Amino acid sequence: MDLMAQETLLLKRRAELTRDLIEIEDTLDDPMPKDWGDRASERQGDEVLEALGKSDLDELRRIDAALGRIADESYGICAKCGDAIAEERLRAVPTAALCRQCA
């Protein structure tokens, strides 16, 4: 497995998520409209943005953990059983910390 390629992929995705989270935060900081109907609609949109932000934040944490495993040379080793994680799994799920059997 090419760890540099995996690290580059993870860093690229991390940058995308960071940009997305900044945009979500900026949108959520916009003032609420004065009209009650518009305000209700805006609140529904905010709830969707908050859910997307939470999902992005969760993925960001998994990416940071994977980058940490690359740094400490434990990337590709199952955190539960210690066996190697299949390259196919790491290509499909670059943040995988567990082998297929343990997941």
- pLDDT tens column, 52-72: 888 999 999 999 999 999 999
pLDDT of 77: 97
Q: Which two tokens stand for residue 86?
A: 């299949």
pLDDT of 61: 96
Pick the residue with more confidence: 39 or 85? Answer: 85
Domain ranges (residues) in the chain: 3-75
CB 64 within 8 A of CB 14: yes
What pTM value is reported for the model?
0.77
pLDDT of 87: 95
Give the confidence band of 33 by pLDDT, cuts at 50, 70, 90.
low
CB 17 within 8 A of CB 56: yes
Q: Which long-range contacts (CB under 8 A, 24 or more apart) does 13-17 make?
A: 13/59, 13/63, 13/94, 14/60, 14/63, 14/64, 14/67, 17/56, 17/59, 17/60, 17/63
In the block, tokens 């499909």 appear at 92
